[in-house]
RNA sequence: CGGGGCGUAGCUCAGCUUGGCUAGAGCGCUACCUUGGGGUGGUAGAGGCCGCAGGUUCAAGUCCUGUCGCUCCGACCA
């Protein structure tokens, strides 16, 4: 491919709308253009990258026995009404009508239609297991599209669904997919980490997320430094490690302490001259299962996912000042468990071990001292409720955990029979008994992976693609195209590399060398072959984008040297 | 959905407060000259429904109302 004939509209200035690095670079380097909020055109460079990513995904899905299909993107409302998600999905579902006024939606995911498919055509245990996947556009009318390709309203996702006879079969399918994902992200050249994840509203009991590690990632994960242990989890899911032993201290008598205007843990600590680990924080939440009070130590945060799971709530949010006053009779900042009624208590296990702690007194400007869980307030539900943070002990081996940020690019779930039972997806086993199909689902955000690769691999100059997914692995840059020696040698280099099966772009534009070098760095070709001063000697210069290392090579050995470097 | 900000040339932005000739700059683009190892220097050009609609006014890019779009922060998610 020749740059003079190829559409690579790089910008000198960055469009103002872009905030995150991948969005900015993708726009600036001429990979994408916005069509509308959350909708992007992929220009040739991005399209090439996408094709390479999809190819690797396909190969790994197929290797595990996956069979690719193509499903309708536009789907009848009827299907979604039957699963109940026409209502549940809410405004995120893009809805439209055909000319007859019938309701349709643009698929945000494909569980319904694939279940429908399998229900119609799979009846016997002889047809199982089955791994079906598709890689297509999905649509979600996000509340707030942002970050360019990291969160669009239209995006490409690979979804594979596994259908098995029983749990043992599901376990096999799950492991196959887990391995496939490791291979996919490894081949893409990304630094990633699989972590334990909450299965969320999709349900099921086991789930892992695949995180591309990047400082800009929205997700926070913790992992154990112990090589033998290997524990890693999304903080939403991460379990708390070893419990703190009970204080060797005799419970003292409950005592009211005036704390005028001291609403925050910090204020109360300073005023009463105690550490935050002596305080019990009582947070009121409103949930679809009624109000509840979450109790954690003063220096801890509530993990809302754990709280939701503990009370069986799907939606929860912190109560506002009016609600707090109605329930506690006190303003914000003085809520405590002693004498509190009309709410469900959920107590972090760490709190249950505390002795002589300090809590709000449910009256303005006062706290209690020497509060003792169990004695001064009930413990109907003691559970792991706190948010795990860095340096907390690993729940498996006790070593201090490390934290990292990541971009979620894939998630695998064991769905079990949750879906199939609701939808009536069954098969006849070898004894003629009707049994629910055991399902799993496995997604990869393909367009998001493209953006995540940029988030993880860039510098001030531009992108730095892993060779496996670079739009072109090599760019050949003649310094002066009007110099016949240089342009001829550049053509030879281009032909040699093309002939050797390397994806190569010849930057034959009559631009100044500085312009071409800047563009090459911006677009992020892993390797640049510069044809300049040394051309008369038949030598070209090779420069690695990631570290700037350079070396000379003769035209005859070029293809071999390039292949060794990539 | 709540709270801010912004819509003027392909891109980045002035101009609006205090209404007044033909609406500006830099970059990019076109042609020519120059230069030729990190966005060269010059000459001449092209390019605008000032987001849209209504209103006020002798006069609106500028003031008022409405509307649409974009964006950032917050609550939710691949």
Domain spans in chain A, listed from the N-terminal domain onward: 3-71+110-239+403-454, 255-383, 474-565
- Spell out the CATH class of A3-71+110-239+403-454: alpha beta
Q: Is the pLDDT of residue A231 over 70?
A: yes
Q: Which nucleotide shows the minimum CA-to-C1' distance to residue A157?
A: B78
DSSP lists the bridge partners of residue A7 as: none
Q: Does any strand B atom come closer than 7 Å to the Cβ of A16? A: yes
Strands across the sheet containing A357-360: A255-258, A366-371, A357-360
- Taking residues A508-522, report their average pLDDT: 96
Q: Which nucleotide shows the minimum CA-to-C1' distance to residue A513?
A: B37
Task: Say if CB A490 and CB A506 are below 8 A apart.
Answer: yes
Q: Does any strand B atom come closer than 7 Å to the Cβ of A449? A: no
Average of per-residue pLDDT values in chain A = 92
Per the structure, the residue whose CA is closest to nucleotide B76 at C1' is A143
Q: Which of A410, A398, A334 is nearest to A365 (CA)?
A: A334
Q: Residue A252 has which token pair?
A: 């003292």
d(CA A556, CA A534): 14
Q: Could you tell me the distance in Å between the CA of residue A29 and the C1' of nucleotide B17? A: 38
Q: Is the pLDDT of residue A314 over 80?
A: no
What's the pLDDT at A242?
Answer: 67
d(CA A466, CA A444): 19
Question: Strand B contacts (CB < 7 A) among A residues 25-54?
Answer: 34, 36-38
Q: How confident is the model at residue A198 (pLDDT cuts 50, 70, 90)?
A: confident
3-state SS record for A152-220:
CCEEEEEEEEEEECCHHHHHHHHHHHHHHHHHHHHHHCCCEEEEECCCHHHCCCEEEEEEEECCCCCEE
- Taking residues A57-62, report their average pLDDT: 98
3-state secondary structure of A260: coil
Q: Does any strand B atom come closer than 7 Å to the Cβ of A224? A: no
Length of chain A equals: 566
Q: Does any strand B atom come closer than 7 Å to the Cβ of A410? A: yes
Q: Does any strand B atom come closer than 7 Å to the Cβ of A522? A: yes
Q: Which nucleotide shows the minimum CA-to-C1' distance to residue A200?
A: B77
Q: Could you tell me the distance in Å between the CA of residue A9 and the C1' of nucleotide B50? A: 26
- Taking residues A320-325, report their average pLDDT: 82
Task: Say if CB A2 and CB A506 are below 8 A apart.
Answer: yes
**If 0-12 CB within 10 Å is exposed, 13-18 middle and 19+ buried, where does residue A36 land?**
exposed
**What are the C-alpha distances in Å from A74 to residues A71, A217, A389?**
9, 31, 43
d(CA A498, CA A503): 7
Task: Give domain A255-383's CATH number out of 3.40.1410.10, 3.40.80.10, 3.40.50.720, 3.90.960.10.
Answer: 3.90.960.10
What percent of chain A lies above the pLDDT cut of 70?
A: 98
Q: Is the pLDDT of residue A82 over 90?
A: no
Q: How confident is the model at residue A203 (pLDDT cuts 50, 70, 90)?
A: low
Q: Is the pLDDT of residue A288 over 90?
A: no
Q: Is the pLDDT of residue A293 over 80?
A: yes
Complex prediction ipTM: 0.93
d(CA A475, CA A505): 5
**What are the C-alpha distances in Å from A432 to residues A119, A170, A423?**
17, 21, 20
Q: Which of A5-9, A267-271, A492-496 has the lowest mean pLDDT?
A: A267-271
Q: How confident is the model at residue A490 (pLDDT cuts 50, 70, 90)?
A: very high
A16 vs A357, residue with greater confidence: A357
Where does A491-537 show beta strands of DSSP type E?
504-506, 527-531
Q: Which nucleotide shows the minimum CA-to-C1' distance to residue A317?
A: B75
Q: Which of A5, A128, A133 is nearest to A70 (CA)?
A: A133
Looking from the CA of A477 toward its CB, the CA atoms found within 13 Å total 23
A497 vs A245, residue with greater confidence: A497
Q: Which nucleotide shows the minimum CA-to-C1' distance to residue A154?
A: B78
- Taking residues A13-23, report their average pLDDT: 87
Where does A500-562 show beta strands of DSSP type E?
504-506, 527-531, 539-544, 550-554
What's the pLDDT at A263?
Answer: 85
What's the pLDDT at A156?
Answer: 95
Q: Could you tell me the distance in Å between the CA of residue A15 and the C1' of nucleotide B60? A: 29
Q: Which of A95-109, A240-254, A394-408 has the lowest mean pLDDT?
A: A240-254
pLDDT tens-digit profile of A360-374? Answer: 999 889 999 999 999
| Nucleotides of strand B within 7 Å of the protein's CB atoms | 1-2, 10-13, 26-28, 35-40, 69-78
Q: Does any strand B atom come closer than 7 Å to the Cβ of A154? A: no
- Taking residues A273-302, report their average pLDDT: 89
Q: CATH for A474-565?
A: 3.40.50.800
- Taking residues A48-70, report their average pLDDT: 98
Q: Which nucleotide shows the minimum CA-to-C1' distance to residue A539?
A: B37
DSSP lists the bridge partners of residue A170 as: none
Q: Could you tell me the distance in Å between the CA of residue A511 and the C1' of nucleotide B32? A: 16
Q: Which nucleotide shows the minimum CA-to-C1' distance to residue A512?
A: B36
Q: Is the pLDDT of residue A57 over 80?
A: yes
Q: Does any strand B atom come closer than 7 Å to the Cβ of A515? A: yes
DSSP lists the bridge partners of residue A428 as: A124, A434
Q: Does any strand B atom come closer than 7 Å to the Cβ of A447? A: yes
Question: Strand B contacts (CB < 7 A) among A residues 285-304?
Answer: 304
Per the structure, the residue whose CA is closest to nucleotide B10 at C1' is A11
- Taking residues A93-103, report their average pLDDT: 91
Q: Is the pLDDT of residue A6 over 80?
A: yes
Where does A197-343 show beta strands of DSSP type E?
206-213, 219-223, 232-234, 255-258, 280-287, 292-297, 316-318
Q: Which of A24-33, A149-158, A414-423 has the lowest mean pLDDT?
A: A414-423
Look at strands A344-348 and A382-383 and give their pairing.
parallel
Q: Does any strand B atom come closer than 7 Å to the Cβ of A151? A: yes
Q: Could you tell me the distance in Å between the CA of residue A140 and the C1' of nucleotide B77? A: 10
> CA geometry: angle at A411 spanning A446 and A156, to 5°?
20
Q: Does any strand B atom come closer than 7 Å to the Cβ of A10? A: yes
d(CA A450, CA A553): 32
Phi-psi region of A145 (alpha: psi -120 to 50; beta: other; left: phi over 0): beta
Q: Which nucleotide shows the minimum CA-to-C1' distance to residue A481?
A: B36
Q: Does any strand B atom come closer than 7 Å to the Cβ of A11? A: yes
Q: Which nucleotide shows the minimum CA-to-C1' distance to residue A18?
A: B71
What's the pLDDT at A247?
Answer: 63
Q: Which of A29-33, A265-269, A404-408, A537-541 has the lowest mean pLDDT?
A: A265-269
- Taking residues A319-347, report their average pLDDT: 88
d(CA A279, CA A223): 28
Q: Does any strand B atom come closer than 7 Å to the Cβ of A136? A: no
- Taking residues A210-224, report their average pLDDT: 92
Q: Is the pLDDT of residue A116 over 80?
A: yes
């Amino acid at each position: 491919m020749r740059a003079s004939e190829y559409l690579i509209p790089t910008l000198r200035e960055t469009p103002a709308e872009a905030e995150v690095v991948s969005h900015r670079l993708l726009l600036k380097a001429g990979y994408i253009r916005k069509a509308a909020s959350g909708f992007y055109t992929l220009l040739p460079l991005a399209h090439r990258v996408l094709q390479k990513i999809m190819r690797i995904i396909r190969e790994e899905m197929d290797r595990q026995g996956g069979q690719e299909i193509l499903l309708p993107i536009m789907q009848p409302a009827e299907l979604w009404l039957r699963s109940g998600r026409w209502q549940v999905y809410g405004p995120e579902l893009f809805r439209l009508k055909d000319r007859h006024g019938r309701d349709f939606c643009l698929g945000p995911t494909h569980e319904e239609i694939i279940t429908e498919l399998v229900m119609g055509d799979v009846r016997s245990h002889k047809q199982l297991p089955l791994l079906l996947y598709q890689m297509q556009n999905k649509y979600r009318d996000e509340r707030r599209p942002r970050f360019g390709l990291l969160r669009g309203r239209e995006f490409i996702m690979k979804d594979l669904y596994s259908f098995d006879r029983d749990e043992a079969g599901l376990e096999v399918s799950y492991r196959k997919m887990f391995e496939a994902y490791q291979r996919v992200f490894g081949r893409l050249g990304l630094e990633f980490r699989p972590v334990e994840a909450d299965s969320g509203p999709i349900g099921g009991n086991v789930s892992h997320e695949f995180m591309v590690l990047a400082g800009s990632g929205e997700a926070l994960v913790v992992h154990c430094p112990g090589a033998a242990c290997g524990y890693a989890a999304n903080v939403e899911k991460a379990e708390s490690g070893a419990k703190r032993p009970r204080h060797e201290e005799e419970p003292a008598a409950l005592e009211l302490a005036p704390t005028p205007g001291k609403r925050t843990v910090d204020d109360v600590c300073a005023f009463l001259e105690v550490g935050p680990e002596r305080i019990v924080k009582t947070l009121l939440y409103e949930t679809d299962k009624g109000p509840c009070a979450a109790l954690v130590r003063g220096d801890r945060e509530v993990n809302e996912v754990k709280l939701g799971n503990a009370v069986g709530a799907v939606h929860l949010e912190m109560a506002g000042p009016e609600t707090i006053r109605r329930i506690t009779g006190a303003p914000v900042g003085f809520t405590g468990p002693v004498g509190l009624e009309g709410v469900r208590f959920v107590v972090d296990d760490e709190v249950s071990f505390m002795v002589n702690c300090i809590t709000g007194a449910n009256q303005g400007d006062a706290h209690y001292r020497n509060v003792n869980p169990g004695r001064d307030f009930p413990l109907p539900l003691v559970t792991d409720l706190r948010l795990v943070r860095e340096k907390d002990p690993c729940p498996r081996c006790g070593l201090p955990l490390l934290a990292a940020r990541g971009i979620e690019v894939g998630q695998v779930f064991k769905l079990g029979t949750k879906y199939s039972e609701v939808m009536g997806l069954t098969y006849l086993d070898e004894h003629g008994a009707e049994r629910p199909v055991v399902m799993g689902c496995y997604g990869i955000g393909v367009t998001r992976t493209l953006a995540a690769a940029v988030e993880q691999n860039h510098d001030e100059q531009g992108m730095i693609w892993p060779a496996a997914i670079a739009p072109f692995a090599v760019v050949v840059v003649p310094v002066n195209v009007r110099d016949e020696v240089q342009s001829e040698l550049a053509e030879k280099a281009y032909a040699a590399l093309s002939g050797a099966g390397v994806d190569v772009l010849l930057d034959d534009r009559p631009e100044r060398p500085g312009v071409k070098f800047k563009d090459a760095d911006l677009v992020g070709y892993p390797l640049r072959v510069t044809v300049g001063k040394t051309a008369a000697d038949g030598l070209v210069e090779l420069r690695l984008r990631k570290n700037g290392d350079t070396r000379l090579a003769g035209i005859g050995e070029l293809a071999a040297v390039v292949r060794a470097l990539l």
